[in-house]
Amino acid sequence: MYYSYPCPYCRKVFYTYSTNKTYASQQLYEGIKKHLIYYDEDRKEHEFDEAPEIEEYHLYKTMAELTQPPRGAYEV
């Protein structure tokens, strides 16, 4: 299954493929957090400011589940 979530600052969509939804939420959190830090957007947004476990749980509950990779999205 493909899982996706948009960057909370720039709205670019990121995705990962996994057979485990918990692992996918961890992958997405780490990938999006790295993106935010690299582009100096981490200090500008407030969605990913909680502890990683809290943010990963939020991603787990809200990320999109897809059978195909999303068009124009970035793989983490």
How far is 36 from 17, CA to CA, in rounded Å?
A: 21
Q: What is the pLDDT of residue 44?
A: 77
Q: Which of 48, 50, 60, 58 is nearest to 22 (CA)?
A: 60
Q: How does pLDDT run across 4-34, given as a tens digit for each residue? A: 999 988 999 999 999 999 999 999 999 999 9
Q: What is the pLDDT of residue 45?
A: 74
Structural domains of the chain, count: 1
**Domain membership of residue 63 as a residue range:** 2-75
Predicted TM-score (pTM) of the model is 0.89
How far is 2 from 17, CA to CA, in rounded Å?
A: 4
Q: How does pLDDT run across 34-67, given as a tens digit for each residue? A: 998 898 887 777 777 788 898 999 999 999 999 9
Q: What is the pLDDT of residue 20?
A: 97
